[in-house]
Structure 1
Amino acid sequence: MTTWFTADLHFGHESIIRHCHRPFAGVAEMDAVLAANWNARIQPDDDVWCLGDFCWRDVARYGARLSGRKHLVTGNHDGDGVRDWLGWASVQPYRELKLAGRRVVLFHYPIAEWNGFFRGAVHLYGHVHGSRPATSTSCDVGVDCWHYAPVSWQEIEGFLACQPAA
């Protein structure tokens, strides 16, 4: 089992293509690429943490096509219809995990300090579509930053090791 992270997929959201300069001709192409990239990486027994803004609407249509156990940390575009989908293994506004001996703080929004900040805890977020610089203890896991695919905890650890100190 591998633990994966992603955010800001915005399935079905046509205007996100223009807003974030995504390289897709339309929403159908974007949705197909996002789903194919997800399923190319995620196995059925993997955990995938989506840190918000999963889809514009019709969550079952998108969620049912994707592999893995899907967890949602809610974002500003995740209304009741998205939160209430029965396909989520869990739904919460904030979550803390322990991975490879480190506290990992999951929240849709980037925050300046988090629980365990001075003890090596890592903060993963979305929402900003790559507009904030990463540090040695925090990074944006949104699809706009990771080639439109989920990113593994191992990839994140390697990436953080190359970033400037927080």
Structure 2
Amino acid sequence: MDFYTSDTHFYHQDLLLSQIFSPRKQFLTVEDMNETIIANWNSKVKPTDTVYHLGDISMKFTKPPKLIMSETLAILKRLHGNFIIIKGNHDQTALLKFLKQNNDITANQKPKFTIHEVGTRVKFAHYEVFLTHYPLIFGMTKNQINLHGHIHNYAMPHQENINVGIDSPEIGYLPKNSVPFGAPLSQNEVIEMIQAKRHHMLRNR
């Protein structure tokens, strides 16, 4: 099964009390936040599933810088699934190289990490789906969708854009409390969000 997520921001201390983006005030420490995401992720994703992570994996300034790379790798290895990673604005090139250097072949004979610098494209449910970190502006299209992250607790005012980040307000298109914090969105949940957003915007024209 395929899943989609973005903006986990593991270790990002300042995000807990941010006044702009996605304040995660329910957590007193980043360790609590990290462990909550890991538990909710692994309760939903199987080791043989594929997770498209659309960027901003972790953020922490350490000396030496390689320390956060090792800490990030340790968390990613605890998370179920094979990762297709889209580089986010907070994902250093050095981190992505480090993940490639420490890649594993998992039980389903696939690499743990596959990395795209800008984005990639998939097709499902008759949609052509562009996966990017930053939201794209298509204009009105019938079957093209952009899954993205980056804007945390905001949503683009276009039906073609779906924010799949863990702080996304568009998770509200799904049944209440059906997606625990940090759990990636299944492909079926994404389809439900696409359809619900289109109906919502049509009603409010």
Same fold (TM over 0.5): yes
3-state SS of paired residue (1:124): strand
Q: Give the paired residue count.
A: 163
The 5 A counterparts of 1:92-107 are: 92=116, 93-107=118-132
3-state SS of paired residue (1:24): coil
Asked whether the equivalents of residues 134 and 140 of structure 1 are also in contact (C-alpha less than 8 Å), the reply is no
The 5 A counterparts of 1:25-104 are: 25-56=28-59, 57-58=68-69, 59-84=72-97, 85-86=99-100, 87=103, 88-92=112-116, 93-104=118-129
Of residues 9, 21, 24 in structure 1, which corresponds to 2:23?
Answer: 21
- Residue type of the partner of 2:88? G
Asked whether the equivalents of residues 120 and 132 of structure 2 are also in contact (C-alpha less than 8 Å), the reply is yes
Deviations 1:17-42 (A, max 9, x none): 11221121110000000111111111
Structure number having the greater strand percentage: 1
Aligned match of 1:151: 185
Unaligned runs of 5+ in 1: none
Larger radius of gyration: 2
- Provide the rounded CA distance (Å) in 2 between the counterparts of 1:134 and 1:109: 14
User: What's the C-alpha RMSD, in Å, of the aligned pairs?
Assistant: 1.9
Runs of 4+ in 1 over 6 A off after TM superposition: none
- Provide the rounded CA distance (Å) in 2 between the counterparts of 1:118 and 1:131: 22
Q: CA deviation at 1:159?
A: 1.5
My pick for the range that moved more, 153-162 or 139-148, is 139-148
Q: CA deviation at 1:135?
A: 4.4
Q: CA deviation at 1:134?
A: 5.9
Q: CA deviation at 1:148?
A: 2.4
Judging changes above 3 Å, is the alpha-carbon distance between structure 1 residues 156 and 135 closer, same or farther for their aligned structure 2 residues?
farther
Asked whether the equivalents of residues 107 and 125 of structure 1 are also in contact (C-alpha less than 8 Å), the reply is yes
